[in-house]
Each structure stands twice: as C-alpha cells, then as structure tokens.
Structure 1
C-alpha cells in the first residue's frame, strides 16, 4: 500500500489523498483445499472523486493455519470492481454466493447465484412482478440462505396494482362509458405511509423466498397485518422463518437511528402458517442470530419509548424449550470492564463454533471495542481494550476465525484476522494484518476526561457527571492552533476514535476541531491554505457508551446540559492545549447544530465562524414536519402518546428551548447546508433561520441540495459540503500565522452588511 501523504497541500489535494483508503464493508470465509486453508472474500468502498460516485471493489485472500494458533495470509487474486450490486451473501458452506443487482438499462432487479462453475441461477424479480423493490436498507434488509442452500429469503415492498388508465371522461370519444369497478377509482393517488428518513420509499415490506430447485418465488403468508417484517433468517431445519416485526399501528414513526420502536422476534411456521412471538410483548427487539448448532437464538432488546438510542440487553432463547434468559442487562453506571451494549445490530456472523461464545462490537465510552461474551457464564471479555486503535468492527466469525477492521483518528482502516482460542484462553489475541494502512504523519489524538459540576446532586449521583472529548492535533507549531468545536448529533450518539478522512484532512491542513459529530465532509476546494488547528469531538452527557443513567439524565435538559458540557470541554481544551482562544469556530449537524446555535446566542463574541448541517432551530415547528415527532416531547421530559396533540404549554416550553427564540443575539458568520429531502429535520428550519439572520445583518450563506437527505450523503454532495465549510472557516478564521485581530477591540473582525447581506465563500 502506498505511503500516507507527507505534506499538507491544498484542501482538495489533501482530502483526495486521504480519502483513497477503502473501508471494508463485508467479508465472508470459505473453506478451500484442506481443513486448514480458507479463502477470504471482502468487499470494499471508497469515494471516487473524479467519477463523483463510490468506488466498490472486491479483494480475495488465502488464509492458512500455521499451527499454535498462528495464521499465514496472502493475496489470492487481483482486486475486481463491483458494478450495480445491491446485496450479496455467501451460503453457509461458502460454496455459493447470492447477488442482488440492478440492470442499468431496464432498471430491473436481478437475483443471481454464483458458484465455482459460474452463474447457476438468474431471476428477473421485476419481470415476475410478485413484489415491488427489494429492501436494501437497514433495519429491514436481509438476504438469507437456508441451511440446505436451496432457498433464499429476502424482504421486498408489497406489490400494488398498476395505475389505472385515464378516467372515461378524459378519453376522447369515451363519454358515457361507466367504470366496471367503481371501488378502484382513484386508487393511484391513495397515500401510503412510509418509514421516514432514509426509508421514504419503504412502506409495506413482505417476506419473500426464492426456491432455487423450482426457480419459483413465493410471498410468505401468515405475517400479521399490523407488523412490518425484516431481518429474517431460516429457523432450525429450514421449517420456518425467524424475523423482526415492527408494529406500524396506529401510524409509523421514523426507524432510522431509532432502536426504541415497538418490535418483536417472531417465528413463522411454514407448514402450519402459525406466527409466534418469541420475545417480550412490549419491548424493542431486533437482530436475531441463530447459533451454529441451531439450539440458541440471540437478540438485542431495549425499552419502548424514551431516548431513540439507549443501552440494550442481550437476550438468549433456547429453541426447543422457548425459555429466554438475559445474558447481559442494561448497565446504568459503566465500569472499567464493561460500559454496556449500544450496537444497533449484532454482526451477521458472531457465534463461535462452540455455540456458547459470541463476539460483537459496541461503543465503550469514546472507543468501539470487540467484546467476547460467554452466554452461559454471562461474562464479558474486552478483546481490544488498550489497543492503539480506537475503533474495531467485526466483519465475520466463521470456523473460529475472526475477521475485523480497526482504525484510529490518524490511521485509516486496517483489515486484520485472528484465530479465536479456546474458552478462558482468549487473551491475548494474535491479530494478523492483511491490509495494514499507515498512520498519517503529524496527526496525534488523545482522550480528554471532563468532570462536570454536580449541580447540587449527591456525590453518588456525580458518577454520571463525567464525560469525554477526543482531541486531534496537527503538527506542533510556534503559533497556537485555531479550534473548531463539533458537538455530535443524536443527541444519543457517540463520536468514537475511528478514522474519518474529512476530519483527518482538516487536521492535516491545520484546523483545530472539537468534534462530537461525524457528518460526511467531502473534499474541500483547491487553492486555499488553512491555519494550523486541532480536532476534538465532545461526547457530552447523554452520549452512548457511558451507561444508561447518563443517557436518561439528558432528558428534560436538552439545550442546557448538552450546551454547558460542550462549552466546558472547550474551556478545558483551551486551558490544557496550545489553542488560540481568539479563533474558535463551530461545525455540527442536526442536534449538534442545535447545541451550536445555543452557544452562538449565549456568547455572541466567542466564536468567529460556524458551519451547520440540517440544524434544529425551532422545536415546536418540527411537531408536524419531522418523522420522529415523539422526540420533541421526550427531549423535554414530556410524556408522549400516539394520540397526543400539541397543547399551548407544550409549544411554549419547546419554543423557550429553541435557538430561534434567541437568534437576534447571534453575530457569528453562519454557513447552512440543507438537504431538500430531509425527513428528520425539515429544511424549513434552515430557511426560517436564514431569513431571521439576514434581517439582523449577520453574514449567512445557505447551500440547498435538492436530492439531499438528513445525512447529506453521496460522494459529490459530501465533497461540496466540505469544500464550502473549509472555505468558510478560511475566510473567517484567517490563514496560518495571520490571526485576524481587530486593532481596536482585540477580537477577530466580522464581515459587515445591512439587512439581507450574505457572505460568499471567499
């Protein structure tokens, strides 16, 4: 692999260089010749900036047991680009691969099966018309092989009648004709409720099975009408289907990044058609994983309502007896050994060969570690604690071979493998690098631990008062670094210590950033030289990975505790690091932008620049426009029910916590980046804020992305967002060695203009 860049050039060149490191998105093992040799197939992705789209490709490796738990690895073939593929899944033996792809000409979806002799099956799902589009998005998507390797299970949109021809009175010469079936008139305009942000084309999922022997497709019947099924797999003996069912009555609430929706683990018996609930009646259950021996079913479970993400339980069901036990419970206060489970899903293959141990990845404070769980002893072993990498992800565990990726803020992802030793002898693991990415020269990072004041609480309650921030710093220089502060969104999310090329690019270019949010920054523009700076994420109280008590403590305190924590982290960083207090900026999105706007209003002269994505500025206005209206109530400590409508006191409480109420105090130049298709935070929030700030003479610029959603995803969109953010900060923070101080006030000057003035990118 080529070495990392040595010098900081233009922002565009730096980001393009750092974004070339691929992320491994999938891995599968197959047995090769001999019991000790395996083939490892991986799928990778990285931005292809010249072609303005992601570049996806596959790599193949050969692994061989060398004795004493050691592995020898080598490349088995050249990398190959992947075209038009939507989903893929290897069979249990690794001898077959199912691939769902889209034909670029007709737009049809094809489900194919490939083996050592080539393609054995190709089914045009669109032409058959048994269902609509196949689901490829979380949390519904799946592509599951039966153990006999003769059937494939997937989720698709329910088929609907095609639009009827024009009404008779619209057709020349057809006056007086009468529709044969008047009940179907106008059906093409009936509203079909969807699942919200990132799932706006998904409404009524159905379970579908492809029989490879008969080349036939069936839509499985027996799923109750009040459920939307997903995450399906075959039950033991292929006699039924295990799936997650989400309640969608009386109406659907947004599912993206929300693990608190009512859902259960169900078993559909294919012979009798009986559908059985296996998990708790009123809970949020997901991610079923069947053990290799077929005797145990593992899944995650959380509480209904409340925070959209939370600490989860690990539950296990014995298949024959239907008895369920809690393997790991919710952790209120974290310990050094274990901080709780916060993963949105379990790895696709996470069981060890003994059908007793499980390996999974989850945030542990400001790290994401791999944990080994003994399901019988209910014990946890951290397999990666203390490693220099801050983020680990398990890709697959087969035949007791672990395949994972690891990274750090200054180190791109490395692909590593290890042999899982016998029980009670797991540590230390011997990780073997397959693709070892170099660290980026000059960037360093550290974890800052911050103790918030107890605020009159008892000393025992102060255990939930500690939080952390990650500080990324560029090479040392004689001048202090400007600092960009980035509180994360969510608010129940976490900024862990993993590789983000956009953040590394900003740091290489010299920006100091106090980050709590990762939000798709792409390539900056060329021709600009950035100031020297540091990067630091703020995991304020309420972040994942610090215990359920910390998550719950934020409810009713949004706009207060999270804002105070972020500012406290800034003050501590300024005291302990070589940072320039006169050159501070804010970079955030969603709820992080909500925090940033509060900071701008509370201290109008503190920050010299701000760039926000999809900002939350007017809480009551979101009640009728967001796909998660429940959060507006829960965040303020108010009860929510499906039938609840806003009351005057509710609206007043929300408005008091809204940054828009204090917008007249804002003086900082502001860049707004908005997706026109954002279902989570309506783009009208930014439009309203933009108008108010223009009226008060604040330099403000609005970027409107017609196809963008809440995440502003996509190679071209991310690149444009980064370019504009970088230039905005350059304009208002000054260049390296040239802090922009006003001679009369000693503060950084601001762009001036009358009402309606806007500031360009410079």
Structure 2
C-alpha cells in the first residue's frame, strides 16, 4: 500500500468511537418502568486533530413490578455533542446535573435542571483555588444526598503577599514546586472544595493533614462529612500515574475541619465506594513500593462499628480457569441494588472479564460469557438496580455496548464493523532452564491475531507486540491506542505477549520479574514467538519484527540485541535504554531500584554497585550487536522515561553506521497520546515494517 492508502486505513480505524462512561435513570409510568441509559463516548477527529466527546441514550422498558424483565429496547437517538466538559455528574435523585466546564480561559460550575441552566459560578474569578482537577487521579465531582452541596478537587491557590512593596511575589514564583510526575505535571497540592448551592458560596476545606494530598472524595450520608483518599507526599513526591503502590490512606473529614485516618498505615488505597444505604464503604488496597502495578485486595469497612475486613484477598497464584485477582480501578457505580454484591472488571490471564463478589460468602464469580468468546475484553461502565452496562471488544471488533442483567446479555449497539481476523489465546510454559526457582511453575500467555485468509501464497510475516510493565494488552483492549489500530491494519500475524510479570496471572507472576528484568521477560517473549512459529507452519520465521513501548520498548531493544539474527526490524516508543542514566531523571526512581532487585529508600544515594547492576540489565549493553533497523518514537515531555534514553541508543547505533530513525514529538509525553502523534506513529511504523519486512 502507498502512504495515502495507509493514511486512509488509519482514518477509518481511528474514527471508531469508544464508550467511556455510563449512567442509568428510571421512571415509573403506570404499568411500565422506563430506563434511560446514557453513555459517554470519545472519538478521534483527524480534521481537527482532537478527540470529540458525545453522549448517546438508549431506552429500556420493563414491567413496573418486574424490573428484571425487559419488554423492549428502543433504538438510540442521534449523538449529542459534549463541549469543553471537564467533569459531569448527575445528582442522586437524577433531576440535576453538575458540570465543570472550561471556556475562555475560565472554569465554570454549572447546575442544570429539566428546564435548563439553574446556576452558574465562575470558579476562576472567585480566586479561591487554582485549576479544577479532572478524574485522571485526584479529581472527582460528588453530590451530597440532600442535593444542596457539590464537592470537587482543585489545585491550591498560590499565596500572594499583602504588602504592596514586598518582593515575595517575585521571588516565590521561581521556587521549585513539586508535582506528581508524568501526566500530572500541573498537580501539586490538591484541596477539597465545597459549593453550597443554596447560598452560592465556595469553601476550601481545612483539616487535611499537611503531609497528605487529598483526592477521590465523596460525601458521607447527611452531607456533614466526607471520605477521601490521601497520598503522603513527604519527604518528596513520586510519580503517581499508573502507580497503585504509593503510600496512601482513607480519611474522613467533617466540615469543621476534624480529620481522622480510617484505613491501615503503610498501605496504598484507592477507589472508595459507598454502598447504597451508606452503611459500608469499600476500597482497593495494595502494598507500598515494589511493582507499580500489583494485585490488590478489596477491603470493606462497616461504618457503624468502624470494623474493616477483607472482601477479596490478593491472589498469589490462581488455578487454571479461576479468578486471578483485582488489578483495575472500580467503576464509580459498582454496587448491586441490595448492597450485598460488588461488580468490577479485572484482568484474568489474557482476557479482561467482569466479576461479582458476594459479601456474605466472599465468593467471586465471572459474569462474562466464556462459553462463546465473541469478545475478549469486558469492562463495566455502570450498574443500576442490577442492570449492568458493559463495554466489549476484541482484536477484530471495535468496542460495543452490552446490556447485561442476571447473567443474560443483549447487545445495545451493534459493532460498527468486524475485521476478517482470527484471534486466539495462547498459554506458554517456560523451558526448565528458564524457570524461576524462587517462583517455580509459573506460565504466561500471549494473544495471537492472524488474517483468516492470506492475501498471497507466501508465508505470513510476524510482528511481536510487547506491552509496558504498568498494564497488559489483552484480547480486546479498550484503549484507543496506536497498537490496537496497527493490529487491525496489518495483514500479518501478530503476537502480543503477556510475559511473567504481567497483570492477570497472580501476584507471584508479578513479583517473579523483580531482579530479573532484561533476562526472564526477554526469554518469555522469545519463547512465545518460538512457540507460535512451531504451532503454525504458515508463519515466516525469516520475517519477524518487534514493537513495544516503555518497558515494552526496553524489551524490544533487548530482543534486537540479544537475538540479532532473529528479527528483521524493530520499533520502540519511549524505551528504557540505560537504567543507570535514567535513575536521576525518572519520576518513579523507586522502580529503578526495585526492578533490578534492590531496596529503595527516600534518602538513598546511588552507589557504584547499584548503578552497575542497572547498567548490566539495560539494552545499551547489547547495542553493539543490534543489526536490525530501529525506529525510535520519543516524547520530549516524557517525565517517566526521559527521551534522552532513546537518543542514547540512537547515538550508539549511528556511531556504528546502523539503520536508525528517530521521531521526536516536542509536545507529547510518555503515552504519545496526542491525536497527531498517534497518526504519525502509525503511518511511520507501517511504512517501516513494509520497507524492512
């Protein structure tokens, strides 16, 4: 294909919409009950070079006395565009909606009722705080049950001197201000803000401990106190994005400034969710430090007796076919109607499934239909009166909506298109010499995608995709990433490897990679590729390429150097190249120690032994052996893996006359997520593989 044709294909793939949120409202009319399911969607617009947001409604009709039996599902109406909304939340009764909107450089709080705009506050002009946070980490928008108050989280206002001749304002603006790292560079000191809708007053709450950054807040019943998660930021902040291993706790704060910690000390906490009657709060809990993405436990706290118990334990080593643990954030609405069950999405080996845990028996069961694996990825968007709205997808099917109730499912929206690919899940067993003696007997997996019919009689080339450490690319990833589009595009065999250390295989698998990076994970990827080649004679062992980002880019470069005669080409996005030189520039310096098996402490000074160990585990030590052409894609604003890591490999390869190309994105970070960046990466990667395979 020519570049123009490839761009056209990319335009088709990038145009698919992805459901990202959902809410359900109900209304009883005589003998029927009408449910309105409103879903939020995002879609890439290449003309604008931005992401569009819109909502779409479905109407479900059931008998008034039997809301489990639906008479009909009416077709959805046309999408409603959503403009400049930062946060949006419907009130408990459902007649009001709060929206934080950005317009003209100002942030507004709008309250809408069935007749239109009821109230609007210019939060920026009030000057009580800085910018309001979105829901990426700290942000929230919560209604009190009386619907008279709304709370949210914003950046603390900068202090200014009241003395007109003071020079403090000029000197303070140059003082270094810590932030929370990659993708959170403008978030430093969050504060909880409350708007009283009756008086129109805005208050910044006092009482949060000075060593804690507050976020993910929600009202307690009665509206006189609230719960929040506090992340400890002393002695200094470490990167928080994609890191569930930061010391944090669950707190309760009343409007008079009285604050108390409710959870254990020296753990990580996230996603507090109140049950429907307000008697119990659940939250996720994990270990501090170690791998930044781990298996988590689900805790429940009886708020009357103030007693905490574990609802779901950390799963060390799941048995075949069993629940593998909790690895993902809880949906904002995740409780059953009776408050006795919690529904959540989580990784399970090569799949993502929806699970329910019964609080009485503590039994976890899967809701996803495994008898027919039409979809590989299931994600809960919301639940209301046991009506679950679920997003489903697979490598050959764009995301679609499914309505699920009492283990029965109905498609609410037909997939826009399905591609002529065959996909399957592969279980891989390491060879005896590759087994980890400390965690013996672990296996891992891979996702295999192949065109149903070959375009030619020749054998099919193979592209190996490698995910980063902080997440796993499963069947049907919901993220609208370049990788997903590439899988849908390539007329070749794709192997996405979930090496030991990937989420979804138990905590033992994650811990097994500590101290083994650059060795165990490299061998796992190679073992998966060899297994695929042995099981499918249609694959071409002489035309293989490898692609990955972050830790996946680290493995990409390792494979090119450790197996120089095996791969024909490589493409790497923001790769770790030299862990020793990365130590002082990464926002997660703790991981640089942990990954190579060393203990981390805040007051640690790098030693020669530590730096040597990091260097020995790095791809730069194999750079001289790399023969394959290498494409490097680097984000200049990357706080997690400095773009100079990629440049270090670029210089090493250039000095030897190797074929290497760098794409430099001055306005992008670690995820390379801008619309124009993704388009450039896609086109460049396809052309790179077309040239060298």
TM-score, with structure 1 as normaliser: 0.86
1:501 Cα offset (Å): 7.2
CA distance, structure 2, for counterparts of residue 125 and residue 452 of structure 1: 57
Map residues 149-164 of structure 1 onto 2, 5 A cutoff: 149-161=147-159
2:368 to 361, 384, 403: 384
Aligned to 1:671: 631
CA distance in 2, matches of 1:113, 1:260: 36
* Residues 226 and 24 (structure 1), Cα distance of their counterparts in 2 relative to 1, 3 Å cut: same
Matched, 1:41 2:38: yes
1:486 maps to 2:465: yes
Contact 2:296-2:326 within 8 A present in 1 as well? yes
Aligned match of 2:431: 453
**Do structure 1's residue 431 and structure 2's residue 412 form an aligned pair?**
no
The yes-or-no answer on 1:375 pairing with 2:359 is yes
TM-score norm. by structure 2 comes to 0.95
Distance 1:13 1:671 in 2: 22
**From 236, 240, 243, the counterpart of 2:225:** 240
Deviation at 1:383, TM superposition (A): 0.4
Q: Given the superposition, is the C-alpha separation of residues 68 and 263 from structure 1 closer, same or farther in structure 2, using an over 3 Å criterion?
A: closer
1:146-167 C-alpha deviation (Å, 9 max, x unpaired)? 1111111100000003699xxx
Partner of 2:171: 186
- How does 1:732-743 map onto structure 2 within 5 Å? 732-733=692-693
Q: Secondary structure of 1:139's match? A: coil
Query: Which residue of structure 2 aligns with residue 685 of structure 1?
Result: 645
| Structure 2: 5+ residue stretches without partners | none
- 2:376–2:394 Cα contact (<8 Å) kept: yes
Residue in 1 that maps onto 2:505: 546
Map of 1:91 onto structure 2:
91
Distance of aligned partners of 1:686 and 1:322 in 2 relative to their CA distance in 1, 3 Å threshold = same
2:546 equivalent to 1:586: yes
Maintained 8 Å contact 2:10/2:682: no
In structure 2, what is the Cα distance between the partners aligned to 1:305 and 1:459?
Answer: 23
Identify the residue that residue 222 of structure 1 maps to in structure 2.
Answer: 207
What residue in structure 1 maps to residue 5 of structure 2?
10
**What's the CA shift for 1:458?**
9.4
Structure 1 position 264 matched with structure 2 position 243:
no
Cα distance between partner residues in 1 of 2:76 and 2:374: 29
Which of residues 503, 519, 530 is equivalent to 1:571?
530
Q: Structure 1: which 4+ aligned runs deviate by more than 6 Å?
A: 456-460
* Distance across 1 between alignment mates of 2:59 and 2:132: 33
CA–CA separation in structure 1 for the residues paired with 2:656 and 2:292:
36
Deviation at 1:337, TM superposition (A): 5.0
Contact 2:243/2:470 (CA < 8 Å) preserved in 1? Answer: no
Q: Which residue of 1 aligns with 2:379?
A: 393
Shift of 1:120: 0.6
Displacement of 1:439: 4.9
Residue 409 of structure 1 is aligned with which of 385, 395, 403?
Answer: 395
1:289 partnered with 2:268: no
Deviations 1:287-337, CA, capped at 9 Å, x for gaps: 100000110000000011111111110100000111000011111111245
The answer to whether the 8 A contact 1:443-1:507 is kept is no
Residue 621 of structure 2 aligns with which residue?
661
1:643-662 maps to which residues of 2 (within 5 A)?
643-662=603-622
Show the counterpart of 2:419.
441
Instruction: Give the stretch that moved more between structures: 720-729 or 25-34.
Output: 25-34
Aligned to 1:29: 24
Of stretches 453-462 and 553-562 in structure 1, the one that deviates more from structure 2 is 453-462
Residue 472 of structure 1 corresponds to 449
Tell me the distance in 2 between the aligned counterparts of 1:653 and 1:444: 42
What does 1:90-129 correspond to in 2, within 5 Å?
90-103=90-103, 106-129=104-127
- The yes-or-no answer on 1:556 pairing with 2:515 is yes
SS in 2 for 1:568: helix
Contact 2:56-2:77 at 8 Å conserved across structures: yes
Q: Is the 8 A contact 1:485 1:586 kept in 2?
A: yes
SS in 2 for 1:431: strand
Distance in 2 separating the partners of 1:724 and 1:432: 39
**CA distance in 1: counterparts of 2:543 and 2:567, whole angstroms:** 7
Query: Displacement, 1:507?
Result: 4.5
Q: Distance in 1 between matches of 2:482 and 2:192?
A: 39
Contact 1:312 1:340 in 2 (8 A): no
Distance 1:438 1:47, change over 3 A: closer
Q: Which of 657, 662, 665 is equivalent to 1:702? A: 662
Question: What residue in structure 2 maps to residue 598 of structure 1?
Answer: 558
Contact 1:488 1:495 in 2 (8 A): no
Find the counterpart in structure 2 of residue 609 from structure 1. 569
1:454 Cα shift? 3.7
The answer to whether the 8 A contact 1:261-1:304 is kept is: yes
1:50 to 47, 68, 72: 47
Query: What is residue 744 of structure 1 aligned with on the other side?
Result: none
Q: Matches of 2:69 and 2:280 in 1, distance apart?
A: 30
Query: 2 CA distance for matches of 1:494 and 1:730?
Result: 24
Is residue 392–residue 476 contact of structure 2 (8 Å, CA) maintained in 1?
no
Given that residues 149 and 223 in structure 2 are in contact (C-alpha distance below 8 angstroms), is that contact kept between their aligned partners in structure 1? no
Aligned-partner Cα distance in 1 for 2:54–2:625: 50
Partner in structure 2 of residue 198 of structure 1? 183
- Are 2:434 and 2:520, in contact at CA under 8 Å, matched by a contact in 1? no
3-state SS of 1:249 partner: coil
Name which of 44, 60, 64 aligns with 2:61: 64
Alignment RMSD, CA only? 2.1
Distance 2:377 2:203 in 1: 41
The answer to whether the Cα contact below 8 Å between 1:482 and 1:581 also exists between their aligned partners in 2 is yes
The number of residues matched between the two structures is: 680
Check the 8 A contact 1:333/1:463 in 2, yes or no: no
Cα gap change, 1:340 to 1:447, in 2 (>3 Å): closer
Give a deviation string over 1:547-580, Cα, whole Å, max 9, x none: 1011101100000000000000111111112211
Contact 2:376-2:474 within 8 A present in 1 as well: no
Deviation of the 1:498 alpha carbon: 3.1
Deviation digits for residues 343-370 of structure 1, max 9, x if unmatched? 3321100001101111100001111111
- Give the secondary-structure state (helix, strand or coil) at the position aligned to 1:703: strand
Structure 2 counterpart of 1:740 = none
Q: Say which one has the larger Rg.
A: 1
Residues in 2 aligned to 1:604 and 1:553: alpha-carbon distance in whole angstroms: 26
Q: Could you tell me whether the CA contact under 8 Å between 2:573 and 2:634 is conserved in 1? A: yes
Question: Alignment partner of 1:571: what SS?
Answer: helix
Deviation sequence 1:367-408 (CA, Å, 0-9, x none): 111101111211111000414211111111112211111111
What is the CA–CA distance in structure 2 between the aligned matches of 1:123 and 1:183, rounded to whole Å? Answer: 31
Q: Matched residues in 2 for 1:137 and 1:90: separation?
A: 15
1: distance between equivalents of 2:102 and 2:117? 16
Distance 2:435 2:422 in 1: 36
1:136 maps to 134
Contact kept, 8 Å, 1:337 with 1:382, in 2: the verdict is no
Is residue 305 of structure 2 the alignment partner of residue 321 of structure 1? yes
| Residues 161-172 of structure 1 aligned to structure 2 (within 5 Å) | 161=159
The Cα shift of 1:689 comes to: 1.2
1:504 Cα deviation after fit:
5.8
